[in-house]
Amino acid sequence: MSTVVSCKHVNKIYRQGLIEVRALTDINLDIEAGDFICLSGPSGSGKSTLLNMIGGLDSPTSGEIIVDGQRVDQMNKSALAELRLHKIGFVFQAYNLIPVLTARENVEMVMQMQGDSKDYRKQHSLAILREVGLEGMEDRKPSELSGGQQQRVAVARAIVDKPCLVLADEPTANLDSVNADNLLKLMRDMAEQHEMTFIISTHDPLVMQRAKRLIKLHDGQIVENNKQN
């Protein structure tokens, strides 16, 4: 098994005027391809910060972050954009979709940026939306979809071009338990079918149960890192 993400001595300190906040302290982590990881921990423990570092949305104060063999912490804006476009899919807690685009257009947008042909885009986006259970809703705007449906579109968009890594920051936080469980099942199925690596941050015990590996953060440090079932 190859390593998709590797963090070495990663520290993140936020400075706000004179106040320093240590968001992450000496994080060391290796994540294998095809893993389905749950990142848990209390509020403020640094889950979002870690995901943002791995996805190159923010840069560490010190340490190395390697994604698919590339040093993310040393990349410039444009290289990071390329990396996110081709190798990483994101799902956030809410407001994941571009409001002026329909469900299908939101999915196709990523494909369009990759230069996929129109026919391929259409075929593929319809297929993936069907896979996440949104057949018949392809042409709805985000405002015409429920929270759970919007999250499904976000998942569809994140995985449509088969990135090696999907980062999901509390994707179920705004959903009821039934919808949350469905979304989790969906992501796990997708991970298995398409052989992608998922890292999902959450407070939700339900989510933790479905993880292959559970990583617990506390005050910016990893306190537990266990394989499950």
Partner 1 sequence: MNYMGSLLFSLAWRNLWRNRRRTLVILFAIVLGVWAMIFTAAFMRGMSQQVLEDTINNLTGHIQIHASQYLDDPVIDHRFQLLDEALFESLNNPQIKQISSRLRVPAVIASERESTGLIMVGIDPENESGISFLEDSIVEGRYLTDPGDSGIIIGRKLAERLETRLGKRIVLMSQDKDNKITDRGFRIVGLFDTQLEALEKGFVFTGLETSEELLGIKGEVSEISILLYDINQVDVIAAELQQQNPQLDVKTWSQLEPVSKLIVDLYENFHLIWHLIVFLAMGFGIVNTLLMSVFERTREFGLFQSLGLKPGFIMGQVWVESVLLLSIGLLAGNLFAWLSVLATGEGIDVSAFAQGMELAHLSNIIPFVIISKDLILANSVVIILGMLTSLYPAWHASRLVPADAITRV
Ligand X SMILES: Nc1ncnc2c1ncn2[C@@H]1O[C@H](COP(=O)(O)OP(=O)(O)OP(=O)(O)O)[C@@H](O)[C@H]1O
48 binds ligand X (CB under 6 A): yes
52 binds partner 1 (CB under 8 A): yes
44 contact, one of Mg ion, ligand X, partner 1, none, CB 5-8 Å limit per kind = ligand X
Candidates 101, 137, 173, 208: give the one binding partner 1 (CB under 8 A).
101
- Report the residue number, 49 or 182, with the smaller CB distance to ligand X: 49
Cα–Cα distance measured from residue 215 to residue 228, given in angstroms and rounded to the nearest whole number = 10
83 contact, one of partner 1, ligand X, Mg ion, none, CB 5-8 Å limit per kind = partner 1
Angle 46-48-54 (CA atoms, 0-180°, nearest 5)? 100
Cα–Cα distance measured from residue 74 to residue 144, given in angstroms and rounded to the nearest whole number = 41
- 3-class DSSP state for residue 119? helix
223 binds ligand X (CB under 6 A): no
Q: Are 26 and 53 in contact (CB under 8 A)?
A: no
Cα–Cα distance measured from residue 34 to residue 116, given in angstroms and rounded to the nearest whole number = 25
CB of 175 to ligand X, least distance (A): 16
16 binds ligand X (CB under 6 A): yes
For residue 70, what is the enclosing H or E element?
strand 70-71
Stretch that binds partner 1, among 61-69, 109-117, 170-178, 205-213 (CB under 8 A): 109-117
Candidates 3, 11, 33, 44: give the one binding ligand X (CB under 6 A).
44
- Report the residue number, 99 or 205, with the smaller CB distance to partner 1: 99
Q: Are 124 and 116 in contact (CB under 8 A)?
A: yes
Cα–Cα distance measured from residue 215 to residue 198, given in angstroms and rounded to the nearest whole number = 13
CB of 47 to Mg ion, least distance (A): 5
Kindly state the tokens that stand for 33.
């391809």
Candidates 48, 102, 149, 197: give the one binding Mg ion (CB under 5 A).
48
Cα–Cα distance measured from residue 54 to residue 128, given in angstroms and rounded to the nearest whole number = 26
Kindly state the tokens that stand for 155.
């998942």
Contact positions toward partner 1, by CB under 8 A?
48, 52, 55, 57-58, 77-78, 81-86, 88, 90, 92, 94-96, 98-101, 109-110, 112-113, 115, 157
Residues that bind ligand X (CB under 6 A): 14, 16, 21, 23, 41, 43-49
